[in-house]
Amino acid sequence: MTENKNHERSAVSVIGLGQMGTRLAQAFLTVGHTTTVWNRTVAKADALVAQGAVRAATADAAIAASPLIVVSLPDYTTMQDLLGPVARSLRGRTLANLTSGTPEEAARMADWAAGHGADYLDGAAMSGTRLVGRPEALFVFSGSPEAFATHRSVLASLGNSMHLGADPALAPVYDTALFGLAWGALAGFYHAVALVGAAGVDPADFAAVATGHMPFVTSLMADHARQIEDGRFPDDDGTVEVHAAAMEHLVQTSRAQGIGTDVPKLIKALLDRAAATGHGTSGIASVIETITKGERNV
């Protein structure tokens, strides 16, 4: 076990050792935290115990072992069923819940934890399992700021652990928003790979060029966020009409190559709706209004 001198050693318990929970426990162990683990199927803890984890005989014992309890289960119902009977043990501890769910479930869970005298952090693992423990693995948390401050260094063992605010619902809101962002980018990537593939380009060769192009795309976000806040959409990055025409070229080129047009058509439809509501000569960030108004805008 390697001990990272940047992390203060502490005690943490992990409940639920599926794909995610196992990686969480490994990350805590790697940094040198005393890591207690519990899983319904006992054998799944064996490898972690061999790496230095402490096996708890029950979920109750896992809770009693540490001031910070990290839970990774399939859903909130499973978590509630499991923790309900042992809730009294949570008093005075922090429950950090990395189970995926909705903002409403997070708010209810925070109330439930408070009712049992526990601090609550809702969280989401944004970078899959492979990067857990590396600085680029994003973990978002929301809920008790005091609990996050207390356990910041332990949670930092997981990667780039950010606190978004006191509202426990923020973590699942970011979770779904960032998931949609990643899929928007990936849908564009898959379409692009199909398009250049039709011209005989190797996916890996294209990926190298595309990766080099992404900093330009991400550089637009801060500028466009400011435009959205100001409600003013200068055309420095092109107008809605110009982008709609370019997107139509992509639709036609895709059709000519015999590949699907779903992705560019979706974007073209958004641009067309923005133009129809008077934003044809506005900058492209004005599409936010089309999205925000949703069906009311049609």
Smallest distance, ligand NAP to C-beta of residue 57, A:
14
Smallest distance, ligand NAP to C-beta of residue 13, A:
14
Q: Give residues 24-43 in contact with ligand NAP (rule: CB under 6 A).
A: 39-41
Which is nearer to ligand NAP, 18 or 165 (by Cβ)?
A: 18
Q: Is position 78 an interface residue for ligand NAP (rule: CB under 6 A)?
A: yes
**Edge-to-edge strand ranges of the sheet holding 11-15:** 54-55, 34-38, 11-15, 68-71, 94-97, 119-125, 138-143, 160-163
Smallest distance, ligand NAP to C-beta of residue 76, A:
9
Q: Is position 16 an interface residue for ligand NAP (rule: CB under 6 A)?
A: yes
The residue among 27, 167, 152 whose CA lies nearest residue 94 is: 152
What percent of the residues of the chain are helix, what percent strand, and what percent coil, each to the nearest 5?
60, 15, 25
> Does residue 279 contact residue 233 with C-beta atoms inside 8 Å?
yes
Which is nearer to ligand NAP, 14 or 65 (by Cβ)?
A: 14
Which is nearer to ligand NAP, 128 or 238 (by Cβ)?
A: 128
- What is the rounded CA–CA span in Å between residue 246 and residue 161? 39
Smallest distance, ligand NAP to C-beta of residue 155, A:
15
Number of residues this chain uses to bind ligand NAP (CB under 6 A): 20
The residue among 241, 190, 185, 179 whose CA lies nearest residue 216 is: 185
Which is nearer to ligand NAP, 38 or 233 (by Cβ)?
A: 38
Smallest distance, ligand NAP to C-beta of residue 130, A:
8
Binding mask 99-138 for ligand NAP (x = CB under 6 A): xx------------------------x--xx---------
Q: C-alpha angle with apex 189: 185 to 190, nearest 5 degrees?
A: 120
Piece in contact with ligand NAP (CB under 6 A), picked from 13-21, 87-95, 216-224, 259-267: 13-21
- Taking the C-alpha atoms of 139, 144, 150 and 155 in order, what is their torsion angle to the nearest 10 degrees? -10
- What is the rounded CA–CA span in Å between residue 122 and residue 103? 9
Applying CB under 6 A, the residues found at the interface with ligand NAP are 16-21, 39-41, 44, 72-74, 78, 82, 99-100, 125, 128-129
